[in-house]
Amino acid sequence: MRTTGTVGSREDKRGAAPAKHLKAAIQKGARYEMAKDPICGMTVDEETAKWKSEYEGETYYFCAERCKQTFDKNPKRFVK
Ligand SMILES: [Zn+2]
């Protein structure tokens, strides 16, 4: 036995969930600053980056140890 009331309320819940998710994702995205690996151009998450270097007061993030080493050898080459 089907009741239209049950179907209707289920659809309402379904419709609300994605919109809520999207809003949260946008808010999270606005807070997050993604850094760019100056060596290979990859986007690096500052929150989880393992490799970083400071050069002339700026912090640079790298996707791998090799990229950091390349940078450390000659930072001037990669910084404008
Ligand atoms: Zn890299």
Domain locations along the chain = 1-31, 33-80
Q: Which amino acid is at 64?
A: A
Q: Which residues contact 75 (CB under 8 A, 6 or more apart)?
A: 53, 55, 56, 60
- Ligand 1 centroid to Cα of residue 38, in Å, is 7
User: pLDDT tens digit string along 31-62?
Assistant: 567 899 999 999 999 999 999 999 999 999 99
Centroid of ligand 1 to alpha carbon of 74 (angstroms): 15
Expressed in angstroms and rounded, the spacing between residue 25 Cα and the centre of ligand 1 is: 26
CA of 69 to the centre of ligand 1 (A): 10
Q: Mean per-residue pLDDT for 66-74? A: 98
The 3-state DSSP class for residue 79 equals: coil
| Sign of the Cα pseudo-torsion (68, 74, 77, 80, in order) | positive
Q: Does the pLDDT of residue 80 top 70, yes or no?
A: yes
What is the reported pLDDT for 23? Answer: 62
Neighbours of 58 (CB within 10 A): 10
Q: How far is the centre of ligand 1, averaged over its atoms, from the C-alpha of 58 (Å)? A: 17
pTM: 0.60
DSSP letter at 74?
-
Query: Residue 30 pLDDT > 60, yes or no?
Result: no
pLDDT score for 33: 73
